[in-house]
């Protein structure tokens, strides 16, 4: 007589519960945008931060792809920010990236709070428009 095989499947809900929240996502992308502005305002174009060959201004996508993502891949072994664990992985990546930037260029931008002021303003504006 053979033993029945138990198959344990993770529910999609459990996986989603660990992913970053919408507020965290918005704060993360607001951080990318604010850091890009701070780097540009400080005269720290991509050439000065990454490579000396070309002069390129920062954008939030450049911050995400050339600063955040390499730290993320090295530290938590994930490519997409959508798969980051909301409890700790964002903090791990941010803490290491922030420490690196502070050591080289001084304090540029702090990570936005959840929910960000921008989100709260957007919600207020939406509520006013729908009246």
Query: CA-CA distance, 82 to 73, in Å (whole number)?
Result: 13
Expressed in angstroms, the distance from the first to the final Cα of the chain is 69
Query: Comparing 53 with 115, which gets the higher pLDDT?
Result: 53
Both tokens of 72, joined, read 């993320």
Identify the three-state secondary structure at position 29.
helix
Identify the three-state secondary structure at position 120.
helix
Query: Comparing 70 with 121, which gets the higher pLDDT?
Result: 70
Its pTM stands at: 0.56
For residue 27, what pLDDT is reported?
A: 87
From 69, 124, 116, 125, select the one nearest 97 (Cα to Cα). 69
Element (H, E) at 101: helix 89-105
pLDDT tens-digit profile of 31-82?
Answer: 889 988 888 888 887 776 776 666 778 889 989 998 999 999 999 999 998 8
For residue 13, what pLDDT is reported?
A: 47
Query: CA-CA distance, 106 to 101, in Å (whole number)?
Result: 7
For residue 9, what pLDDT is reported?
A: 45
């Amino acid at each position: 007589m053979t033993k029945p095989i138990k198959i344990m499947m993770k529910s999609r809900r459990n996986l989603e519960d660990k992913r970053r929240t919408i507020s965290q996502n918005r704060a993360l992308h607001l951080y990318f945008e604010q850091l890009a502005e701070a780097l540009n305002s400080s005269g720290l174009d991509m050439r000065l931060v990454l490579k000396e060959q070309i002069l390129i201004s920062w954008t939030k996508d450049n911050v995400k792809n050339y600063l955040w993502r390499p730290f993320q891949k090295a530290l938590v072994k994930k490519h997409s920010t959508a798969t980051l664990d909301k409890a700790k992985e964002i903090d791990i990546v941010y803490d290491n990236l922030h420490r690196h930037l502070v050591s080289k260029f001084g304090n540029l931008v702090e990570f936005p709070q959840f929910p960000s002021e921008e989100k709260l303003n957007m919600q207020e504006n939406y509520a006013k428009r729908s009246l």
